[in-house]
Amino acid sequence: MNKLSPAQQRIVEHEGSCSVIGAPGTGKTDVLVERIAHLISKGVAPEDIYVVAFTYYSWQVLTSQLRKRLGDLVDKMHIGTLRIFAQNQIEKDEGTEFKFSTDKQSRRYIRQAMGEVGFKGSAVEAEHIIRYFKSLARKPQETAPHFDLLCAYKRLCDLDRYDVLRKHIIGIRQGDYKRVPMKYIFVDNFQDITRIQFLWLLDHIKAGTQASVFGDDDLCAFKRDGAIAAQAFNDLKDIDYIKPFVLEHSYRMSTPLAASLQGLITGLEGHIPKNVQCDASKSIDVKFEEFSSSDEELMVLVQKLKAIDPQKRIGVITRTDWDALRVQKSLEKQGVAHSSFAHKIWEIPGAIMVLDLLCLLLNQSNDIHLRNVLIGYGLNQSLIDSLFKAGLHGNDWLPNGARLPKDISLPQGAVAEYTAIQRQLVGYYTLLRNGSASPQDIFKAAALDMIANMNKEDRLNALVAVDTLVNLKGSLREVLPQIREGKEPNVHDNVIVGPVRDMRNLQFDYVFLPLAGKDTYPYKGYTVLPVDEVHDKKLFYMAITRADSQVCISWNGVPSSYVSNMKKSYKPV
């Protein structure tokens, strides 16, 4: 890295706990790495150092930078999430593996909970709500909105990964578990810590762990999941032995760009003012482009990517996973090499239901698959519960004619509902068995029947899943193993596509922000959750500030108000 500035050097050499806040490009992550290198040079054992990253991609970036600076010493350090550290300690104290529901299992439970309480939003909204409740340090009030959804979910799912820290904290207080034996902890992107994570960290700090935390409240990416942003830094101010530092000089942003973005974030609730200084010679080219349709916009985007020097780093940053998947599809069709940070389609709720339907039609299903498909076809949740209590099973359900359990008494309307779905699915299963039509066409027809009952967000994801499945090579039975394969994204690839939340810690020569329309920033795709201007302005700010040379913002139809305001305020030199 370049020579440290005096302000950065003071942080590196500071003895004791500290907090560091700075705008994009001020070198926060570089200083974190150098501070660790400084400690090791002074005799601190790498095994005593813990480094926290909140996402898999941030972990990749941090690990890569540490390895570049420290070589194989990195393998002796502990790099991961707070949850991983707590889980390892629980397993060490209990002497056995600590098990909890996987994310895919949790999403199926969420779908069931939605049906139980009549939740009107999408599964993604429900997931945000449950994560938010679990991020709190105290039990939520029963009068809180959607508390019934949380209760229904907890009845179905005893433990998921968001319960691990709470279990560890309670175990420490009751004497069942020990604290993680870390002498030094470094936290990157501290603004994305939740209240329960903060409580766990604070407990370890008070027990003697030296903490160094780095971040920027304006780059908070997980507010809907409970991230506390500026409040995390403000709460540390009450602890006199944690010294606060501010980095003011940005080596990435240009003065015109910083000035145009200042109006976006200044005045936001909880915003911590920063005096951002930029090099006068720094130049970033900002372009705005309007298109008549999304197809035209994505076609031109692909052409632009092909024309750029292949040695340059390019980031295509979208607001949502859905838009990232659309870009990904366009690049794949045109043979443009890239890594995608979008959630794998099979991790998204609407797509999970499509996959469960395939398992059912291939007679490879269990009770969870069948329950999810019945929900997808619109069967009432209470009726589904009654059926399974009476002995309904997913195994061999279709080969046995999808019959009702014996000795179950149902209202005539409920029987009619069930019978209509039974006829549809048995019909599709029979067609598959007889080979009277293309298996892909039969599956697609069955899936479209189910998708017709979904809300808009789940429907879009499910349609992508169907398209992906029917275009995989081989028979339907052969595609299931293919789903579990695929290229793992690499943060070092030259072209990266993904939603903005996963672009932290990354810097690109060229940044493209496609599909930046009026319903994207701020995001208006939810049914139950309200529009969150503060959250979306920070995401837009994060996306723009990943650029080191050029940023191109495009839209079709009406642009985002953020884009319109930026066009007015941006004054290139």
Maximal C-alpha separation, the chain? 81
pLDDT at 485: 55
Parallel, antiparallel or unpaired: strands 277-278 and 285-291:
unpaired
Both structure tokens of 82: 């707070």
Q: Is the distance from CB of 134 to CB of 196 less than 8 angstroms?
A: yes
User: How far is C-alpha 62 from the geometric centre of its chain's CA atoms?
Assistant: 18
Q: What is the pLDDT of residue 1?
A: 45
**In sequence order, what are the residues at sequence separation of 6 or more whose Cβ sits closer than 8 angstroms to the Cβ of residue 506?**
57, 61, 315, 491, 496, 546
Integer Cα distance of 266 and 264 in angstroms: 6
**Cα–Cα distance measured from residue 446 to residue 455, given in angstroms and rounded to the nearest whole number:** 17
For the chain, what is the mean pLDDT? 92
Closest CA to 513 of 296, 287, 252, 316: 316
Strands 314-318 and 495-499, by their bridges, are parallel
pTM: 0.85
CB 75 within 8 A of CB 212: no
Q: How far is CA 226 from the centre of its chain?
A: 13
What's the pLDDT at 41? 97
pLDDT for the residue numbered 489:
79
Which two tokens mark 123?
């599964």
- pLDDT for 462 equals 87
Element (H or E) spanning 91, and its range? helix 82-94
Answer yes or no: are the C-beta atoms of 252 and 558 closer than 8 Å: no
Nearest to 253 by CA among 286, 224, 225: 286
pLDDT, position 470: 81
Give me the phi and psi of 411, to 5 degrees please: -60, 155
Is residue 49 within 8 Å of 263, Cβ to Cβ? no
Q: Mapping DSSP to helix (H, G, I), strand (E, B) and coil, where does residue 186 land?
A: strand
Residue ranges, the chain, pLDDT below 50: 1
CA–CA distance, 416 with 207 (Å, rounded to integer) = 63
How far is the C-alpha of 402 from the C-alpha of 393, rounded, in Å? Answer: 9
State the Cα–Cα distance between residues 466 and 444, nearest whole angstrom.
Answer: 7
> Do 47 and 192 touch, CB atoms closer than 8 A?
no
Rg over alpha carbons for the chain, rounded to the nearest Å, is: 26
